[in-house]
Structure 1
Amino acid sequence: MPQPVGTESRAPRTVVSIDTTVLIAEAFDQAQVTELRHSVTSCAHAAGLDGQRLDDFVLAVNELISNAVRHGGGRGWLRLWHEPGRVVCEVADHGRGISAGRLGQRGRPAADVPGGWGLWLARELSDAMDVDTGPAGTTVRISAAVGAR
Structure 2
Amino acid sequence: MTNGESPTPRTVVPIEHALLIADAFDQAQVTELRHSVASCARAAGLLDERLDDFVLAVNELITNAVRHGGGRGWLRLWQDPGLVLCEVSDHGQGITPQDLANRSRPAPETAGGWGLWLARELTDAMDVETGPAGTTVRITTATVPAEQHVGRHRSE
Cα displacement string for residues 63-119 of structure 1 (whole angstroms, at most 9, x for unaligned residues): 000000000000000000000111000000000000011111111101222211000
Match among 16, 19, 32 for residue 19 of structure 1:
16
Q: What TM-score do the two structures reach when normalised by structure 1?
A: 0.91
Inter-partner Cα distance in structure 1 for 2:121 and 2:9: 45
Cα displacement string for residues 115-148 of structure 1 (whole angstroms, at most 9, x for unaligned residues): 1100000000000000000100000000100122
Fraction of identical pairs, as percent: 73
Over the residues paired in the alignment, what is the CA RMSD in angstroms? 1.5
Inter-partner Cα distance in structure 2 for 1:12 and 1:105: 44
Matches within 5 A, 1:40-51: 40-51=37-48
SS class of match (1:73):
coil
Q: Which amino acid aligns with 1:78?
A: L
Match among 143, 149, 155 for residue 146 of structure 1:
143
Unaligned runs of 5+ in 1: 1-7
Question: How many aligned positions are there?
Answer: 143
Which residue is equivalent to 1:75? Answer: 72
Inter-partner Cα distance in structure 2 for 1:110 and 1:33: 26
Inter-partner Cα distance in structure 2 for 1:143 and 1:118: 16
Unaligned runs of 5+ in 2: 149-156
Q: Which amino acid aligns with 2:94?
A: G
Matches within 5 A, 1:103-142: 103-142=100-139
